[in-house]
Amino acid sequence: MKMACELLRRNDLKIEELARSVGYTDSLQFSKVFRKHYGKPPTVWRKSLLEPAEADA
């Protein structure tokens, strides 16, 4: 999951591609495990990373 968080910082990867990169063949299963681990789905986690940067622009 730590690697997934690093990859989520790269906005150019789709969640499906990211899931495959960290060993999941099913992106829905990846999202479910990510949410259980971090308390929010990967798309929301990524958005929370981008919001502070957008506020500075």
3-7, 31-35, 53-57 — which one is most confidently predicted on average?
Answer: 31-35
Does residue 56 belong to any structural domain of this protein? no
Copy the structure tokens of residue 57: 């622009």
Bin 13: left if φ > 0, else alpha if -120 < ψ < 50, else beta: beta
54 has a pLDDT exceeding 70: no
Straight-line distance from the first to the last Cα atom of the chain, in angstroms, rounded to the nearest whole number: 29
Does residue 37 belong to any structural domain of this protein? yes
pTM: 0.80
Residue 16: which CATH number? 1.10.10
At CA 2, angle to CA 8 and CA 31, rounded to 5? 60
Count of structural domains, the chain: 1
Condensed to tens digits (0 to 9), the pLDDT of residues 23-45 reads 999 999 999 999 999 999 999 99
The whole-number pLDDT of residue 57 equals 52
Does residue 34 belong to any structural domain of this protein? yes
Q: What is the domain extent for residue 33?
A: 1-50
